A = this chain, B = another copy of it.
Amino acid sequence: MSNVASDFITEPNDERRQQIAKQLGEFIDPDKVRIDEESLLGHGCDWTKLYKVNPLAIVFPKTVEQVQQLVKFARAEKIALVPSGGRTGLSGGAVASQGEIVVSFDYMNQMSDFNPVDRTVVCQPGVITQQLQDFAEEQCLYYPVDFASAGSSQIAGNIATNAGGIKVIKYGMTRDWVAGMKVVTGTGELIDLNKNLLKNNTGYDLRHLFAGSEGTLGLIVEATMRLTQPPKDLSVLVLGVPEMAAIMEILRAFQNRMPLTAFEFFSESGCKLTTAHGLQRPFETETPFYVLIEYENQSEQDAETAMEVFEYCMEQGWVVDGVISQSESQAENLWALRENLGECCAPFTPYKNDISVTTSQVPGFLEDIDAVVSQAYPDFTLVWWGHIGDGNLHLNILKPEGMEKEEFFSKCQAVNKQVFEIVERYQGSISAEHGVGLVKRDYIQYTRSDADVALMQGIKKVFDPDNIMNPGKIFQS
């Protein structure tokens, strides 16, 4: 799989690396230029382990000026750049396979200029998500974008992949929390996007173009993030659901009565995994699907309303059993049933798919995909979970014991075409929140038309005329 234009250096050797390191050391602190094998392998990829890792060098700039100099250098030398954050991506967006220079923001990780009226804080690109969440808490505020890798993912990476997670139903995606950002384009120019304004209708909002651009338009060198009021006392319900179609009725019944902060689901196969890892079942009844609902207790009335809706759902037969948290620790335990799924799947080398449709279509969509994969590989275990209130499903296919990883992955990939044809038929997305990177690149036409991709390619040329910014990610470039 070629992911860099053919005139790039594709096979760096030691001599070439030494030479480049010397040149880079002229404008980046020499101890922040690394060409040792550990650094190259460690910083040259993300959580996907599917691609050859072969960067030319890893650099750790400390200032915006150094980033600009680096881009100008890379442009002059026709060397591609791969931005690197917390490297927690699942789509190969931060993989350097073809002699690229990896730009790590590990040493640009400070926060500054907190403004309590605007509720904004300026972040360098390498600020860790959790660091921002903790800072917000210290200010009695809240940064609401949250997901499993919050402890290591970095803020610029979150923006570049428009990270979602478990609170999207109430708080939206990362793009919704960026007041402004500074970016260095493929020409080395520094552009200030939106100046942190709440309202600014002066032409195209390029902030939104960078959110989800996966480093293909330029490097995010600063982001001013918005914070909000923390949620009040949260309650968690887990409900046992006999049929997928009922989940949509439950969603509608709750949303019509009260705002929700989360609406998640997981399959019984998932429940089996987490309970095998020491968690308690939410209740004795075993059901094919479970829904996890979180809401804010803004008044005493809310608990009553939730109980009324729960009882209504029981009467309708949509729910056959349920439990509601009575304390913060119980809420945490219930959340663990959903949140520990990724970790519990990991030993089974899961093949992951992150797909979405409009919420109302989820039941038929899930059924169709489940049928296709189960028919092709009746021995594979399918674990479903996801942010079902957003129409976002995570399908995890577990590797049967004894099967070679290569054989397993190639079998999963063989069924991809059928899965994505169903996605296309439902007008869905082949990547709801993980991004495209390399993993989904050759399937993008199932969600975006050729004309649509051509527009993206044209836009990339405007920002990156020499095709040095993470080339080959999202689409061929």
Q: CB < 8 Å: which of B119, B164, B201, B431 contacts A202?
A: B431
Of A8-16, A142-150, A275-283, A444-452, the one contacting chain B is A444-452
User: B251 to A201, Cβ gap below 8 A?
Assistant: no
Q: How far is the CB of A246 from chain B (nearest CB, A)?
A: 12
Copies assembled: 2
Q: Is A359 an interface residue (CB 8 A)?
A: yes
User: B168 to A202, Cβ gap below 8 A?
Assistant: no
User: B195 to A429, Cβ gap below 8 A?
Assistant: yes
Contacts of A440 in B (CB 8 A): 202
Of A27-35, A128-136, A298-306, the one contacting chain B is A298-306
Q: Is A267 an interface residue (CB 8 A)?
A: no
Q: How far is the CB of A137 from chain B (nearest CB, A)?
A: 15
Q: CB < 8 Å: which of B202, B436, B462 contacts A444?
A: B202
Of A102-110, A385-393, A399-407, the one contacting chain B is A385-393
User: B358 to A196, Cβ gap below 8 A?
Assistant: yes
Contacts of A298 in B (CB 8 A): 298-299
User: B173 to A358, Cβ gap below 8 A?
Assistant: no
Contacts of A209 in B (CB 8 A): 204-205, 208-209
Q: Is A456 an interface residue (CB 8 A)?
A: yes
Contact with B along A190-231 (1 / 0, CB 8 A): 011101111111111110110111100000000000000100
Q: Is A378 an interface residue (CB 8 A)?
A: no
Q: How far is the CB of A34 from chain B (nearest CB, A)?
A: 30
Q: With A117-B360, A360-B115, A449-B192 in contact, is A428–B202 under 8 Å at CB?
A: no
Q: How far is the CB of A354 from chain B (nearest CB, A)?
A: 8
User: A199 to B173, Cβ gap below 8 A?
Assistant: yes
Contact with B along A416-446 (1 / 0, CB 8 A): 0000000000011111111110001000100
Q: Is A318 an interface residue (CB 8 A)?
A: no
Q: Is A347 an interface residue (CB 8 A)?
A: no
User: B162 to A429, Cβ gap below 8 A?
Assistant: no
Q: Is A118 an interface residue (CB 8 A)?
A: yes
User: B455 to A197, Cβ gap below 8 A?
Assistant: no
Q: Is A161 an interface residue (CB 8 A)?
A: yes
Contacts of A458 in B (CB 8 A): 462
Of A77-85, A252-260, A309-317, the one contacting chain B is A252-260
Q: How far is the CB of A185 from chain B (nearest CB, A)?
A: 7
Q: With A173-B199, A198-B390, A229-B259 in contact, is A204–B456 under 8 Å at CB?
A: yes
Q: With A191-B455, A192-B449, A359-B117 in contact, is A199–B390 under 8 Å at CB?
A: yes
* Consensus secondary structure, chain A interface: loop
* A290 to B119 Cα, complex, angstroms: 23
User: A198 to B256, Cβ gap below 8 A?
Assistant: no
Q: Is A474 an interface residue (CB 8 A)?
A: yes
User: A161 to B201, Cβ gap below 8 A?
Assistant: yes
Contacts of A173 in B (CB 8 A): 199
Q: Which residues from 454 to 477 on chain A have a C-beta closer than 8 Å to any C-beta of chain B?
A: 455-456, 458-459, 461-463, 474-475
Q: With A452-B191, A459-B459 in contact, is A198–B360 under 8 Å at CB?
A: no
Q: Which residues from 158 to 204 on chain A have a C-beta closer than 8 Å to any C-beta of chain B?
A: 161-162, 164, 168, 173, 175-176, 179, 185, 189, 191-193, 195-204
User: A201 to B390, Cβ gap below 8 A?
Assistant: no
Given contacts A198-B390, A298-B298, 12 further A-B contacts (CB under 8 A): A115-B360, A140-B256, A162-B201, A164-B199, A185-B455, A191-B455, A195-B447, A197-B429, A200-B431, A201-B434, A202-B436, A203-B436
List 5 tightest A-B contacts by C-beta distance, closest first: A299-B299, A208-B208, A458-B462, A117-B360, A200-B429
28 sampled A-B residue pairs with Cβ under 8 A = A117-B359, A119-B255, A120-B358, A162-B201, A168-B198, A175-B205, A191-B455, A197-B356, A197-B391, A198-B358, A198-B390, A198-B391, A199-B356, A199-B391, A200-B356, A201-B433, A201-B435, A202-B430, A202-B448, A203-B444, A205-B209, A206-B455, A208-B208, A229-B259, A298-B298, A455-B463, A458-B462, A462-B462
